[in-house]
Amino acid sequence: MNEWLNHPSMKNMDPVKLELIRNAAKRTEGKSGRSLAPVMMALITGAQKNGIRFTPEEMSMVISILKEGKSKEEQEQIENMVSMVMSYAKRK
């Protein structure tokens, strides 16, 4: 689960964002696709409350972390959930 910490793009990431991603990764361990929505919502809303905006590349990385070790069906659920969460976040 922690091999993403060695990803080259993590080296230059804002430490606050990195900590949010770490917390989200810990909170998603062992969860299925549908139960990830509250975690993603908390990640996005928590970041927004603190004036933090993730780049598209950073969001892709978070999604990859969430999908790690999940079945194809769960990965599809995650993709659907992410689309829903992102459309909600854009309205805010």
Q: Structure tokens of 79?
A: 């993709």
Q: Give me the pLDDT at residue 84, please.
A: 76
User: Tokens 């993730």 map to which residue?
Assistant: 54
* Reported confidence tier of residue 6, pLDDT bands at 50, 70, 90: low
| Residues 32-87 pLDDT 10s | 666 766 777 777 777 888 888 888 887 787 777 777 777 888 888 888 877 877 77
Q: Where are the domains of the chain?
A: 2-91
In whole angstroms, give the CA distance from residue 89 to residue 41: 8
| Residues 12-27 pLDDT 10s | 788 888 887 777 777 7
Rounded to two decimals, the pTM is 0.61
In whole angstroms, give the CA distance from residue 57 to residue 36: 20
